[in-house]
Every structure is written in C-alpha cells, then in structure tokens.
Structure 1
C-alpha cells in the first residue's frame, strides 16, 4: 500500500475514516428484555449457517457513515466498497484506517486516487471505533429477532444501516473518541 496520495485531490479537505466489516447471520441474538410481571417474555432462537456482510467506513470528525451490504469479505467486494466511498466524497482526500485483513492488502486492489489506506497495528480491534458501531447496531436492531430468510435479514440490515447513516449525531457520539479527535 502506498503511503502517499496517488493522484488528484492533493489539495482537497482531509477526511479520516475508520473502516471495518461485520458478519450478520441468521443466528438469533438473544438479549434481556423487559415485560410486566408476571409475564415471561418469549424469544425465539435460530441457528442457521447463512451470512451476509456489512462494510462500513466512518468519519470520526463529523459522524458521516458510509455502508454497503455485500455477500462476501474478499478483495472484489472490498474494491466495490472502496470505489463507493471514494465516489461519495470526490472532493476529499480520505485517509482510511483499517485492520490487516488479507483482502485489505490484496495486490489486485486498485486504490481510488482520493484514498490512502493506513493499517492499524495487528490484533488491535479496540483501536477501531467502527467496532462500536457494530455493537450499537446489533444491540438496537438485531436483539431477539429471528429471520425467515437471508433476504429478510438483509432487509433489516439495510433499514438499520440507513437509519444510522442518517443519524450523524448518534454515530458521532459513538466514534468521536477523544484520543482520535485530539490527534486530528
């Protein structure tokens, strides 16, 4: 990976984004829930080996979240995601900070001209604020739900991700860690 801007937009505004992927499947996430006494809540459970993946990049300075739902985690899907993020912010220079997954370092990736990829240290997911976006999403949108099909799961994921993309103050409150903001 280059450590310098590969082309145009050398004078554009700098946008620091953290990137990550998360797997969502038809395995139910049973959580505590409230109900009036003496009723006991019922939560269905399901274990089915069907998954889809959400890709996300978040701008820590303003809470802008870019997401895509893709069928795999590999270099082809990563290329689609990088191209999408670059197209959404064409006038910015984007420093995208990501983990060391193999598809992030693939020689087949064609890094868009306004992107610079920067790797986090190995085995340090706690440094990536997108992990907390996934926690929030799973807690608020996927607890105690069972999906009849992978399409139903993807529909719920789409609605939930769109709601988060539109709620930049909420996303900003999750990802604007003091040590990151002070470094900017």
Structure 2
C-alpha cells in the first residue's frame, strides 16, 4: 500500500508487487496510523520527558511491548479490504 507521500519509492518496475494506492487523506486505511494511535493512547501521550534519550527509550519500550502482543498487533494491521 502506498499513501502517495512524495518520499516513497517508485516500485512500478517490480513485477512481483501489486500496489494498492490509498486515497488522499485516509489515515484510517493506513495500518501504521492505527499502530501510532495505539502507541499514543496506551504508552506515549500525556508524558513529560527530560530529553531526547528518554523519548527514544519510551518509544522503544512502547514498540517492544506492542510487538510482544502479537494478536493485538495483527488485529491493528489487518486490512480485510486489502486481501488479494
């Protein structure tokens, strides 16, 4: 899936990949947006950090906790409409 961001690479030459272009302004269709929302709601919002190192540490801890919950992660990124 591509959301049309300018920094994404052109993969049109690759024969074994099917591109699903997302409509503009559709964060609800982009799986990473659901992951970010989950991390912000459960681990990263309403916090104060003393510096960049603490921010990175909190982000890594939140990500590792989410990855440890494989069923939760799979449910966040599952896109029934994108099955080919």
User: How high is the TM-score relative to the length of structure 2?
Assistant: 0.73
Equivalent residues, number: 81
**SS of alignment partner, residue 131 of structure 1:** helix
**SS of alignment partner, residue 102 of structure 1:** coil
Query: If each structure's helix is expressed as a fraction of its own residues, which one has the higher value?
Result: 2
Which of 31, 42, 47 is the aligned partner of 1:129?
31
Partner of 1:120: 22
Matches within 5 A, 1:100-179: 100-105=4-9, 116=17, 118=19, 119-179=21-81
Query: If each structure's strand is expressed as a fraction of its own residues, which one has the higher value?
Result: 1
Give CA-to-partner distance per residue, 1:87-134, whole Å, 9 cap, x none.
xxxxxxxxxx1211111037xx9xxx8x84733233322211221111
Higher relative contact order (CA 8 A, sep 6+): 1
Return the alpha-carbon distance in structure 1 between the equivalents of residues 2 and 45 of structure 2.
27
Q: Structure 1: where are the runs of 5+ without partners?
A: 1-96
Matches within 5 A, 1:1-184: 97-105=1-9, 116=17, 118=19, 119-180=21-82, 183-184=83-84
